[in-house]
Amino acid sequence: MARVRWAWIAAGVVGAVLLYGILTFNRLVALRNRVRNGWSQIDVQLRRRYDLIPNLVETVRGYAAHERELFEKVAEARARAIEAQGVRPQADAEDGITRGLRRLLAVAEAYPELRASEQFLALQEELTATESKIAYARQFYNDQVMRLNTLVGSFPSSLVARLFGFRPEEFFDIEDPVRGPVAVDL
């Protein structure tokens, strides 16, 4: 009788461990998929930003043609960002774009007729909206990464994560376009 009771207890413990493992695995898969979805949303908004940059550069170039070096730097930063693979290289490339756009908009400040241009205003408004969408997508992504990394790093879920090859993901930290003063380099 005592053996039967111990067998039931052992079966219950094994069942509970298996159930915990299955539930944790499913949660890890769901979080990994949310991280991937968050990254794809960031990518969509970054592509939209990349599409706006040439139009913005051309609009400013019409008024400030002597700023050729700045236009080239913005174009180079855009090209690096398009080619970037992975979270850290992408974040570094985006920081370059942000610095270039800040300088480009600072140059535009020196030309009142440019600031009054409907095309420039429309592009600036669209860029601002896109920056907001990037910030929202980045926040969603980083929230999901935090949840996944917490589960991957916490005991006992870390055992399940290690068993099935789940690894911590990298946060997407980029320079905030509205953080700090605009540096004018004329």
pLDDT digits (tens, 9 = 90+) for 148-182: 999 999 999 999 999 999 999 999 998 765 444 44
Query: Chain-wide mean pLDDT for the chain?
Result: 89
The three-state (H, E, C) secondary structure of the chain, written as one string: CHHHHHHHHHHHHHHHHHHHHHHHHHHHHHHHHHHHHHHHHHHHHHHHHHHHHHHHHHHHHCCCCCCHHHHHHHHHHHHHHHHCCCHHHHHHHHHHHHHHHHHHHHHHHCCHHHHCCHHHHHHHHHHHHHHHHHHHHHHHHHHHHHHHHHHHHCCCHHHHHHHCCCCCCCCCCCCCCCCCCCCCCC
pTM to 2 decimal places = 0.83
Say whether pLDDT at 115 is over 90: no
The residue-averaged pLDDT of 44-71 equals 88
Q: Residue 176 has what pLDDT?
A: 65
Q: Residue 179 has what pLDDT?
A: 47
Confidence class of residue 186 from pLDDT cuts 50, 70 and 90?
A: very low
